[in-house]
């Protein structure tokens, strides 16, 4: 686990990249595929573009749900 900086902030790092196709592995979207739209935020969430019911929808999920 990373240590906080002088201001008490832990900087997150991830190997996930915008445009990368990912599989969601838990939660209500378990088993579905999407494309990363934004890099992970400071709260450990990521925006993923998914096709649901023939429409493209942006969802925000925890990074831990993405493979």
* Model pLDDT for residues 24-48, shown as the tens digit of each residue: 998 888 999 999 998 888 888 899 9
- pLDDT at residue 57, as a whole number: 93
Q: What is the pLDDT of residues 43-60, one digit of tens each?
A: 888 999 999 889 999 999
Pick the more confident residue, 55 or 9: 55
Report the distance separating Cα 57 and Cα 55, nearest Å: 6
Report the distance separating Cα 10 and Cα 36, nearest Å: 22
Which residue ranges make up each domain of the chain? 21-65
Report the distance separating Cα 63 and Cα 1, nearest Å: 16
Please, which contacts does 55-62 make with residues 24 or more away whose CB atoms are closer than 8 Å? 59/29, 59/34, 61/24, 61/27, 61/29, 62/27
Report the distance separating Cα 18 and Cα 28, nearest Å: 22
């Amino acid at each position: 686990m990373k240590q906080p900086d002088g201001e008490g902030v832990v900087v997150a790092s991830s190997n996930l990249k915008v445009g990368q196709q990912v599989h969601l592995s838990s939660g209500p979207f378990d088993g579905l595929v999407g494309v990363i739209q934004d890099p992970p935020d400071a709260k450990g969430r990521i925006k993923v573009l998914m096709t649901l019911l023939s429409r493209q929808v942006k969802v925000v999920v925890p990074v831990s749900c993405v493979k």
